[in-house]
Amino acid sequence: MVEVFKTNISDKVIADALTHELQRLFPGTSVNFDLDDCDRILRVAGHGIIAGNIVDVLSRQGHFCEILD
């Protein structure tokens, strides 16, 4: 399963930190950002991903994040 999110992350250092945090919180997932995309895409791949949890993690850290269909 792959979930795709629109974010407001534009800084590679922040994206790298969030990647590590998400992988720590959700073991067994693959996480990556596409900061060159106009929607600053976040992709999370793995089994049993709950998209709302990903949104909550980024929101609690002050970032915009919404699920893309």
The pLDDT tens digits for 10-20 are 999 999 999 99
Class of the CATH domain delimited by 2-67: alpha beta
- What does the pLDDT look like over 46-55, one tens digit per residue? 998 999 999 9
pLDDT at 69: 81
DSSP letter assigned to residue 33: E
- Residue 39: which of 13, 5, 2 has the closest Cα? 5
Q: Domain extents for the chain? A: 2-67
Give the global pTM. Answer: 0.94
**Percentage of the residues of the chain whose pLDDT score is greater than 90:** 96
Q: Which strand (E) or helix (H) includes residue 39?
A: none
What is the percent of the chain where pLDDT is above 70? Answer: 100
